[in-house]
Structure 1
C-alpha cells in the first residue's frame, strides 16, 4: 500500500470513530464484511476441514491473513483463530484491530450460508484479548443472552 493510501485510511478510520463511535462503526463494518462475502462466495463444504481450506483460499485472494477452525463441542461454538488481519495503525479494540467487525461480517456470512448451518449464529470476540502476536480468536455460535 502506498503512503497516501495508508495516510487516507488512518485519517478516515480515526475520523469515522470520532464521528459515530465504536458501536456504530462495528455495525457498519460488519455490514461491509457481509457485502464483501456476498461478492466472494464460498462453495458448500461438508466438513470443517474443507471449510477451513475454502476460508483460507478466499482470505488469500483479499490478502486478509489465514484462519484455523476448531469446534468446541462443550460450548457448541466454532472457534476461529485468525492471523494477519490488515491493521489500520493502532486503531481498534484490541489495538490494531479496527477491521475486526468487517472480518466478523465475512465469517458470519461465509459460515452461515454453509449447508446445515444453524440459523441465528453470530461471530463474537473478547475485545480485551491479547493480540500482540497478530492472532485474534473469534467464536461463531448462538448469540449470548
Structure 2
C-alpha cells in the first residue's frame, strides 16, 4: 500500500500550529507587531540588491517570492501622494481558528516589503508600509507618508 501524497506544503502544519498558538496567547495588535517584525527579518535574511528603477525592484522582489511560492507583487506610484502602491497577489492563504480569512499575512507582508524597500538607494528608513486592503490572497499595501 502506497501512502497518498499530502497536497499541503511541508510548512503548513507548523505554521498553523504557530499561528494558533499566537492567537491563543497574544492580543491581536501584539501579534501583528510580532508578525511585522518577522516579515522585516525575512527581508533582512533575503535582501534585495540595490535597484535604480521600480521595474527592477519589482522584478527582484518577484524573484525572491517565486522560490517559496509566495505570489507576485506589482509596484506603482501612488497618484495621490508621494508613495508606492504594492499589490501582492496569490500570497499563501492559511486560515486559523480566530483568523479564517488568513489576515495574519498582512502584517508579515508589511514588514517584508518595508524591509526590502527601506534597503534601496534613497529610501527613507522611517517610512512604513501599511495594509490598505486584503481579499483572500490579494493584499494592497502603501509605502509612504
Q: After TM superposition, give the deviation of residue 35 of structure 1 in Å.
A: 1.2
Unmatched segments (≥5 aa) in structure 1: none
Instruction: Select the structure of larger CA radius of gyration.
Output: 2
TM-score by length of 1: 0.83
Q: Is the 8 A contact 2:43 2:115 kept in 1?
A: yes
Paired positions, count: 139
- What CA RMSD, in Å, does the superposition of the two structures yield over aligned residues? 2.3
**Alignment of 1:63 onto 2:69:** yes
**Alignment of 1:131 onto 2:135:** yes
Q: After TM superposition, give the deviation of residue 18 of structure 1 in Å.
A: 2.3
User: 40, 56, 70: which one pairs with 2:46?
Assistant: 40
* 1:55–1:92 distance in 2 versus 1, CA, 3 Å: farther
Q: Is the 8 A contact 1:92 1:98 kept in 2?
A: no
Q: Is the 8 A contact 1:33 1:102 kept in 2?
A: yes
Q: After TM superposition, give the deviation of residue 83 of structure 1 in Å.
A: 0.6
TM-score by length of 2: 0.83
| Larger helix proportion of the pair | 1
C-alpha distance in structure 2 between counterparts of 1:44 and 1:3, whole Å: 31
C-alpha distance in structure 1 between counterparts of 2:19 and 2:30, whole Å: 13
